[in-house]
Amino acid sequence: MEESRFATRMHGMAGDAIWELLSLTQQPDVISFAGGMPSPDAFPHEILAELAGELLRNQKTTVLQYGQSEGYFPLREWIAQWVRRKGIVATPEEVIILTGSQQGIDLSGKIFLNPGDKVVVESPTYLAAINIYRMYDAAFVTAPNDDVGLDVEALEAVIAREKPKLIYLVPTFQNPTGRTLPRERRQVLGEMLTRHEIILVEDDPYTDLRYEGEAVPAIKSFDTTGQTIYLGSFSKLISPGLRVGFAIARPHILRKFVLGKQTTDAHTAMLSQALVYEFCSRGYLDEHLKRVCAMYDAQRLVMKEMIERYMPKDIRWSQPEGGMFFWGELSVGVNAKELLAKAIKEKRVAFISGESFFADGTGQNTLRLNFSNSSPEKIEAGIRALAAVFEEHM
């Protein structure tokens, strides 16, 4: 079919690089550091099976029927209390349940962006956010950053000059770099939002996967005028297949989210919402997170050790305190995509080359490694194999 028959927003759209690799990386002989997936060993399948059976027996008229677009009210109540540990004060009426927190990115584009409106993003940033905002014909503005994340003082000059509609950030254990924005910068950013009356989309799916260091409050906790839309998710904590996330925002913003959601999927699956609520409200989540964090921390430390032992010394690596990713910066002129093709062909090891995470098309010399979905044994074997490819190529 001719390209001209499709909407102009589809012209030039590329697929998500991670999903494009998925079929390859699921082959049993491939060691994959490509996806951002939780380990299947982390899924609390036995507890969820018991809860699902109980729900289907006792609450079938609730979990198998249509529900409110805002979401299952008991879950909204529980979330409003749970986020207080992140410094967020919210009522259940300020919470909407989403079909994965990524739906919140899409809804923010749907309700705020006209073609040509500017969105501030980090460089690099979450590649799905780039694709989503590009779908709404946004113009990207890159914000300066350093080894701990966004340079908030430089950001203010960018805002004054470019007059953007939105800022999009993953401030904690960022995807793809693993960086965490310090408390002091979060406070400055919260104050800045008020001065400029600009919307911040704070995408925070990894914050509970902390393995060392002190927890930091959400940026939203420093926002006194409600300019922040906070996105959270249970995908990395319980199960991505349940597709349960949430957004917290002021009521007038949330109302627009509801209208946008009604034209997409009406509401998030009721059984999934009820499962997450029962799992969390019965006290399973805290113990589950302790187990998951201990497992991922062990995998993180193995990858860190293998990188330090085997990788060429001129590669700069992030030092994440949590989350799921290591980020590497190769020498200028080295093309990570070429290394990926060589690693898959010769060593059957996959990773993600970094250019997809850059809205301006740069970053050819960068890469992301995921440690949460590989055993320590596969991590050691995979990093040794990658190091051999990198040494030879570089």
Residue 57 has pLDDT above 60, yes or no: yes
Separation CA 327–CA 320 (nearest Å) = 9
Q: In 10 A of CB 80, how many CB atoms? A: 19
- Tell me whether strands 31-32 and 349-350 are parallel, antiparallel or unpaired: parallel
Confidence of residue 15 (pLDDT cuts 50, 70, 90): low
* pLDDT single digits (tens) 239-289: 999 999 999 999 999 999 999 999 999 999 999 999 999 999 999 999 999
Region 43-72: what's the mean pLDDT?
97
Average pLDDT score over the chain: 94
H or E stretch covering 343: helix 336-347
* pLDDT single digits (tens) 166-186: 999 999 999 999 999 999 999
What does the DSSP assignment read for 37-90?
PPPGGG--HHHHHHHHHHHHHH-HHHHTS---TT--HHHHHHHHHHGGGGT---
Domains and CATH numbers, the chain: 3-44+286-393 (3.90.1150.10), 59-284 (3.40.640.10)
* pLDDT single digits (tens) 126-165: 999 999 999 999 999 999 889 899 999 899 999 999 999 9
Confidence of residue 14 (pLDDT cuts 50, 70, 90): low
